[in-house]
């Protein structure tokens, strides 16, 4: 009866606190038993470290969502620590929770990496000191964004203003924004640097209106010398906030104060944005961050390990890097799990250990499919040759098959729209985007087609 509930729980938690928390803490936990008479959920954690961490940090979250899923109010959560099959130690907490007894050494080690969710809910609005240019690994996927970010710190407001950095989730945008802030602060101790996530900006503005403090709101931004706005896409459809921001932007820009934006898409793709604001976002330099290649992922892992005085051998680094496909945040999560486990069990970080710790992750993350692999499997279902699919022909059925291929490529290959367009004879990324929308739309209307898509997806991945 409990099958599926844990998966459902992971999805909810992911939405609520992000995939890093799920990857680091919840992925390795299993739902052991649900005792409806005792109103108790039994969970199994892989070790004491994870168990204690969950008990002291995520108890309310577990109670809330597992309670909802089991349809009860505040279930008791019992966490068992599984060391060997027959050696299971349990501990439970209901209402009150006591700080966890985490081995000092482990906690220190994990803390030192500066990459653990210790900062969750932490100091928003302030520049995070552990994110600096020194800890940022540069590779082909992020070199443009890095170079631009670095350059503006030498002449804030004079070189690229605004600087607009975009890229997928977990690829280092926030890290770069904080690095800019830290670096400018270092050179100009008096500079008023403000790091502001967009959702916070929106809330601040809404509250200013509610409590009649719009003046104060604008006054705050008048004093800012360097404004780092994270995830500007969240301004979408917030017309009044956009209006307010538009004025802040103009004032700052006129007086050559540096503004930096991050976003998950380029300015022209952010929906629900006033045209005059959109055009301003692209006034300076627009730099992208792509998914890192294997070599960069390895370099990042080595750097992170080094920061916590751990040495990572080549085989371990390569194993972990190849295990996590695209997102650096998840890459870190995997490394933290390996290091925490090694430290806790007093073993060196070895290939075998990494393999053991990440075993569950393997089952859940399918291999990366290639563009060729996708085309081959589309070909099987639509009876077109690879060359035809890659040709310029606009025959209606052929075009649709091509669009299906584009859709699947985006879904399973972790390539950019640009890469996919290039594969199909240099088509524009907007063509690929259109294809994805169209196929998504068809799948929603037509369950049979949706099933077919799923089959093709499976075939392409395995």
Interacting residue ranges for ligand ADP, rule: CB under 6 A: 115, 131, 135-137, 142, 167, 169-175, 300, 328-329, 332
Say which residues have a Cβ less than 8 Å from residue 164's Cβ, sequence separation at least 6.
Answer: 260, 261, 262, 263, 266, 267, 281, 282, 284, 285, 286, 287
For residue 138, the minimal CB distance to ligand ADP (Å) is 7
Stretch that binds Mg ion, among 73-81, 168-176, 411-419, 445-453 (CB under 5 A): 168-176
How many angstroms separate the Cα of 157 from the Cα of each of 254, 281, 353? 10, 14, 49
For residue 301, the minimal CB distance to ligand ADP (Å) is 9
For residue 173, the minimal CB distance to Mg ion (Å) is 5
Partner from ligand ADP, Mg ion, none binding residue 142, C-beta < 5-8 Å depending on class: ligand ADP
Distance of CA 72 to the CA centre of its chain: 32
Question: Considering only CA atoms, which of 333, 341, 373, 377 is closest in space to residue 357?
Answer: 341
Say which residues have a Cβ less than 8 Å from residue 87's Cβ, sequence separation at least 6.
Answer: none
First-residue to last-residue Cα distance in the chain: 29
Q: Does 174 engage in binding with Mg ion (CB under 5 A)?
A: yes
For residue 324, the minimal CB distance to ligand ADP (Å) is 11
Partner from ligand ADP, Mg ion, none binding residue 109, C-beta < 5-8 Å depending on class: none
Q: Does 233 engage in binding with Mg ion (CB under 5 A)?
A: no
* Smaller CB separation from Mg ion, 225 or 230: 230
* Smaller CB separation from ligand ADP, 197 or 421: 197
Stretch that binds Mg ion, among 97-105, 123-131, 171-179, 390-398 (CB under 5 A): 171-179
* Smaller CB separation from Mg ion, 198 or 258: 198
Partner from Mg ion, ligand ADP, none binding residue 410, C-beta < 5-8 Å depending on class: none
Partner from Mg ion, ligand ADP, none binding residue 328, C-beta < 5-8 Å depending on class: ligand ADP
* Smaller CB separation from ligand ADP, 75 or 267: 267
* Smaller CB separation from ligand ADP, 169 or 251: 169
Partner from Mg ion, ligand ADP, none binding residue 115, C-beta < 5-8 Å depending on class: ligand ADP
How many angstroms separate the Cα of 171 from the Cα of each of 58, 219, 234? 26, 33, 18
Q: What tokens were used for 394?
A: 């606009």
For residue 269, the minimal CB distance to ligand ADP (Å) is 16
Partner from Mg ion, ligand ADP, none binding residue 416, C-beta < 5-8 Å depending on class: none
By CB under 5 A, what part of segment 124-163 binds Mg ion?
Answer: none
* Smaller CB separation from ligand ADP, 162 or 167: 167
Partner from Mg ion, ligand ADP, none binding residue 335, C-beta < 5-8 Å depending on class: none
C-alpha 438/C-alpha 430 separation (Å) is 12
For residue 145, the minimal CB distance to ligand ADP (Å) is 9
* Smaller CB separation from Mg ion, 234 or 424: 234
Partner from Mg ion, ligand ADP, none binding residue 329, C-beta < 5-8 Å depending on class: ligand ADP
Q: What tokens were used for 198?
A: 């967009």
C-alpha 435/C-alpha 428 separation (Å) is 11
* Smaller CB separation from Mg ion, 263 or 308: 263
Partner from Mg ion, ligand ADP, none binding residue 332, C-beta < 5-8 Å depending on class: ligand ADP
For residue 383, the minimal CB distance to ligand ADP (Å) is 41
How big is the site for Mg ion, counted in residues (CB under 5 A)? 2
Question: Considering only CA atoms, which of 124, 135, 163, 183 is closest in space to residue 263?
Answer: 163
* Smaller CB separation from ligand ADP, 34 or 136: 136
Q: What tokens were used for 328?
A: 């650096």
* Residue with tokens 């499976």, as numbered in its chain: 458
How many angstroms separate the Cα of 196 from the Cα of each of 9, 67, 187, 282? 31, 35, 20, 19
* Smaller CB separation from ligand ADP, 75 or 172: 172
Stretch that binds Mg ion, among 109-117, 165-173, 392-400, 439-447 (CB under 5 A): 165-173
Stretch that binds Mg ion, among 169-177, 267-275, 282-290, 364-372 (CB under 5 A): 169-177
C-alpha 167/C-alpha 329 separation (Å) is 13
* Smaller CB separation from ligand ADP, 310 or 332: 332
For residue 142, the minimal CB distance to ligand ADP (Å) is 5
Partner from ligand ADP, Mg ion, none binding residue 136, C-beta < 5-8 Å depending on class: ligand ADP
- Which residues here bind Mg ion, judged by CB under 5 A? 173-174
């Amino acid at each position: 009866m409990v099958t599926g509930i844990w998966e459902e729980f992971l999805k909810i938690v992911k939405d609520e606190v992000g995939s890093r928390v799920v990857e680091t803490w919840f992925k390795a936990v299993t739902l052991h038993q649900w005792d409806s008479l005792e109103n108790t959920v039994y969970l199994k954690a892989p070790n004491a470290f994870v168990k204690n961490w969950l008990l002291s940090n995520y108890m309310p979250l577990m109670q809330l969502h597992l309670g909802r899923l089991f349809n009860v109010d505040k279930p008791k959560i019992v966490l068992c620590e599984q060391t060997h099959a027959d050696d299971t130690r349990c501990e439970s907490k209901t209402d009150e929770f006591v700080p966890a007894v985490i081995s000092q050494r482990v906690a220190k080690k994990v803390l030192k990496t500066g990459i653990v969710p210790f900062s969750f809910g932490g100091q928003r609005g302030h520049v995070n000191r552990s994110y600096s240019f020194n800890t940022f690994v540069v590779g082909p996927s992020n070199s443009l964004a890095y170079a631009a970010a670095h350059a503006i710190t030498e002449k804030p407001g004079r070189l690229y203003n605004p600087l607009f950095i975009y890229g997928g989730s977990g690829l280092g945008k926030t890290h770069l924004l904080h690095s800019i802030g830290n670096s400018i602060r270092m050179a100009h101790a008096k500079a008023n640097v403000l790091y502001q996530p967009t959702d916070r900006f929106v809330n601040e503005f809404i509250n200013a209106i509610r409590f009649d403090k719009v003046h104060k709101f604008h006054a705050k931004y008048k004093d800012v010398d360097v404004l780092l706005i994270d995830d500007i896409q969240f301004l979408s459809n917030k017309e009044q906030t956009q209006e307010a921001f538009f004025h802040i932007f103009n004032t700052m820009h006129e007086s050559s104060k540096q503004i930096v934006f991050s976003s998950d898409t380029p300015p022209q793709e952010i929906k629900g944005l006033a045209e005059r604001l959109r055009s301003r976002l692209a006034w300076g330099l627009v730099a992208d961050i792509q998914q890192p290649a294997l070599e960069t992922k390895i370099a990042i892992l080595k750097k992170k390990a080094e920061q916590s005085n751990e040495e990572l051998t080549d085989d371990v680094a390569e194993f972990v890097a190849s295990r996590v496909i695209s997102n650096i945040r998840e890459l870190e999560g995997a490394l933290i799990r390996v290091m925490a486990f090694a430290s806790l069990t007093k073993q060196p970080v070895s290939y075998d250990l990494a393999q053991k710790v990440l075993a569950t992750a393997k089952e859940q993350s399918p291999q990366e499919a290639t563009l060729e692999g996708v085309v081959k499997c589309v070909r099987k279902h639509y009876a077109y040759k690879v060359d035809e699919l890659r040709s310029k022909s606009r025959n209606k059925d052929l075009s649709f098959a091509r669009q299906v291929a584009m859709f699947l490529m985006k879904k399973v290959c972790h390539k950019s729209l640009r890469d996919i367009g290039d594969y199909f004879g240099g088509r524009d990324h907007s063509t690929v985007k259109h294809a994805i929308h169209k196929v998504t739309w068809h799948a929603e209307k037509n369950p049979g087609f949706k099933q077919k898509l799923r089959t093709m997806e499976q075939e392409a991945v395995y």
